[in-house]
Amino acid sequence: MRPTWDIFCSVVDNYGDIGVTWRLARQLVAEHKVAVRLWVDDLGAFVRLCPQANPEAAQQLQQGVEIRQWPAPWQPLEPADVVIEAFACQLPEAYVAAMAARPAKVLWLNLEYLSAEDWVEGCHGLPSLQSNGLQKFFFFPGFTAGSGGLLREPELLAQRQAFQADQAARDAFLCSIGVEPVAGARLISLFAYENKALASWLDALAADSQPSQLLVPEGRILADLHVWLGDGSLPVGATRQRGQLHIQVLPFIQQDQYDRLLWCCDLNAVRGEDSFVRAQWAGRPLLWHIYQQTENVHLEKLEAFLALYKEGLSPAASEALADFWRAWNNGEAMADSWQRLLGSWPEQAEHAEDWCLARASQTDLATTLVQFYLNWL
């Protein structure tokens, strides 16, 4: 019998919670031959990532994953062999009681948010005893060998490298999403939260000697773009030009297409967790808008990642990159750090590929989860 896995996803906001769990669920089914039920409390968010899904269905099969509407109140049912509560979401009490009562033991995992902080390795895989006698294990994704790793499909890098080497494939893809490349322009994708720093970066791009083509999937940053353009009507597909900057609004595309967009671009501005990781697999320089937390806790996480990522960069390149990211995340002027980043561009580009390959030499998150289960049995 195939092992069964239940993954619980509570959509807090945005698309990261569902983005990560949907990706993980598909990979577990496709590569590890386990049966997965993905419990989602907001099918509306799921439908954005999987447009063929039915937002009303209590139960449906999508790409081999059984998608379940997380019912309130909970309906009793037999728990799976492995239970993942994603990002510390609260499991239904009755379900936890059923886990404790199940004759065959259940592996209970809390899949945590991604962080590059030092303490992650020390906490990864630790058990915590619950009041009902069950153990819950903390599972931390991460960038180093002592963590749970990063989500990465086995063929991903080969696909990415083949695509990047194939001009016709890239052009065909861009054409399929309505993008006509501007001759000689650097291609930039922009996925970010609201950001006060945007205007100064766009000013710099508009005044640059080289043209830039900025592709902006529909999302929260559009409001700032409207303000900068002085134009509140930017429907999907709309293009605008200011100086050397060409801007185009894109539809929100499916995850696999979004990967291809990242692979096409010279620089990717990404946010949150999942797009941040996907931009690293693109092997191209990136700009991370980290998810904001109270008391600026997120800035420590930003620095922790920068400290790791900067290894191997020259002091000037490393400083330019860090200043550029800090300005972006603190809503500060971007022109100076952008110029310095451009000054070290070949090194930045080479480093992004090296970083990607080094991370890809680690075991991926779906595999570490399966290995953890097999060791625990």
* CA–CA separation, 341 and 207 (whole Å): 16
| Least spacing, CB of residue 249 vs ligand TRH, in Å | 11
In sequence order, which residues have a C-beta less than 8 Å from that of residue 220 and are 6 or more positions away? 192, 193, 194
User: 17 catalytic, yes or no?
Assistant: yes
- Quick check: 271 binds ligand TRH (CB under 6 A)? yes
- Is position 354 annotated as part of the catalytic site? no
Residue 15 binds ligand TRH (CB under 6 A): yes
Does 275 sit near ligand TRH (CB under 6 A)?
Answer: yes
Q: Which C-beta is closer to ligand TRH: that of 92 or that of 141?
A: 141
Please list every residue from 166 through 205 that binds ligand TRH, using CB under 6 A: 191
Q: Which of 243, 197, 225 is nearest to 335 (CA)?
A: 197
x/- mask, ligand TRH, residues 22-61, rule CB under 6 A, reads ---------------------------x------------
175 burial class (0-12, 13-18, 19+ CB within 10 angstroms)?
Answer: exposed
Q: Tell me how far apart the alpha carbons of residues 234 and 318 are, in angstroms, rounded to a whole number.
A: 36
- In the complex with ligand TRH, which residue's Cβ is closer, 109 or 262? 262
Residue 107, phi-psi category: left (phi > 0), alpha (psi -120 to 50), beta (remainder)? beta
**Within positions 54 to 113, which residues make up the interface with ligand TRH, using CB under 6 A?**
113
Cβ of residue 328: shortest distance to ligand TRH, in angstroms? 15
Task: Using the rule CB under 6 A, give the single segment among 65-73, 131-139, 165-173, 270-278 that binds ligand TRH.
Answer: 270-278
CA atoms within 13 A on the CB side of 294: 0
- Residue 141 lies near ligand TRH (rule: CB under 6 A): no
Distance, CA of 331 to CA of 243 (rounded, Å)? 23
Rounded distance between C-alpha atoms, residue 268 and residue 27, angstroms: 24
Active site residues: 17, 273
Binding positions for ligand TRH, rule: CB under 6 A: 12-17, 19, 49, 113, 191, 217, 252-255, 258, 271-276, 291
